[in-house]
Amino acid sequence: MAKIDIISDPICPWCFIGKTRLDRALEANPTHNFIIEWHPFQLNPTMPKKGMDRREYLEAKFGGQEEAVKVYSNIDKTAKESGISMNFGGIKRTPNTIDAHRLIHWAGIEGKQNIIVDRLFKSYFQEGRDISEKSVLTRIASAAGMNQDVVRRLLESDADVDDIMARDTDARKKGIQGVPAFVVANEYVVQGAQNTDVWDNIIKEIQEVTKFDG
């Protein structure tokens, strides 16, 4: 087996695009032997617990409305080219993602990370839901087959908060400054939302190496 470690944040549009492209490459190589593991990275580690008004956040981040519109128009164009419909207008708040990362962590224990990550992206970017809200996160967990009551109790506690923050800090110390970032087979680092054909070549190359090593 080969592993792809993905460092990501569920409010990162490029991470949504990158996952979609990687998923297509994996689907096109049904005999692949890759396993996926998701790791936390907060785009806004100092974000208030209750988040921020989306418009205020974007204008502060990009230096005004005009620049924010320009940046997100490019993202929307790229998403559409990748077959993703983004509903940026439906997003009212930019959330703190620590609880979403905790949910992804717990999903990993049950082997449900991919479906949880996918649902977080869709909830935020397509349905405009605030994925810092515990009610939203528990519904996502339940739909993926996780125990809703257990997840709710965990979210109401501080379980694994320190661990998530430590892993985020560790990623930065290792040189990760932006996401998505992919570590393939514990050896190759792939930055950004690479095209599906790039992933197709990487998958085939790693499969050949793995076959040779075996």
Say what the pTM is.
0.96
Under the banding of pLDDT at 50, 70 and 90, the label for residue 211 is low
- How large a percentage of the chain has pLDDT more than 90? 93
Q: What is the CATH number of the domain that holds 66?
A: 3.40.30.10
User: What's the rounded Cα separation, in Å, for the pair 155 and 93?
Assistant: 20
pLDDT 10s digits, 102-143 = 999 999 999 999 999 999 999 999 999 999 999 999 999 999
Burial 143-173, CB ≥16 within 10 A → b, else e: ebebeeeebbebbeeeebeeebeebbeebee
The pLDDT value recorded for residue 208 is: 83
**In this model, does residue 212 exceed pLDDT 60?**
no
The pLDDT value recorded for residue 213 is: 56
Tokens standing for residue 174? 């290792």
Under the banding of pLDDT at 50, 70 and 90, the label for residue 207 is confident
Note down the domain range covering 112.
2-213
* Count of domains for the chain: 1
